[in-house]
Amino acid sequence: DTAVSQTPKYLVTQMGNDKSIKCEQNLGHDTMYWYKQDSKKFLKIMFSYNNKELIINETVPNRFSPKSPDKAHLNLHINSLELGDSAVYFCASSQRGGREETQYFGPGTRLLVL
């Protein structure tokens, strides 16, 4: 059973398009996250939701909009895609968002903007 799943795994699109990435976790966790990993492998938090409520919103362009329909799902919608958005996007979850908790990562979505 996949704990944290993301779709699609690969996404190739043109500049200016709008795209969505979906994430689901079946671990029963309360907290979910979106991270961006750039070409230099630098991993940076973008958003976090706890029980469908936004708790972290880093300095991310407002073209990025997360949506959590329920605590098992956290989707990421990106408007007007730019070349610099090309990266790997990881979804993750943890039980309650506590300090000592392990975060479980999904397989990643490799986004390439042409």
Partner 1 sequence: GQSLEQPSEVTAVEGAIVQINCTYQTSGFYGLSWYQQHDGGAPTFLSYNALDGLEETGRFSSFLSRSDSYGYLLLQELQMKDSASYFCAVIGEDSSYKLIFGSGTRLLVRP
**What's the min distance (Å) between Cβ of 67 and partner 1?**
19
Q: Does residue 42 belong to the site contacting partner 1 (CB under 8 A)? A: yes
Q: How far is CA 43 from CA 2, 16, 76, in A?
A: 22, 24, 17
Measured distance CA(101)–CA(61) in Å, rounded: 28
Q: Does residue 8 belong to the site contacting partner 1 (CB under 8 A)? A: no
User: Which residues from 53-92 bind partner 1, rule CB under 8 A?
Assistant: 55-56, 58, 90
Q: x/- string (CB under 8 A) for partner 1, residues 89-108?
A: -x------xxxxxxxxxxxx
**What's the min distance (Å) between Cβ of 81 and partner 1?**
22
Helix, strand and coil content of the chain, in percent to the nearest 5, comes to 5, 55, 40
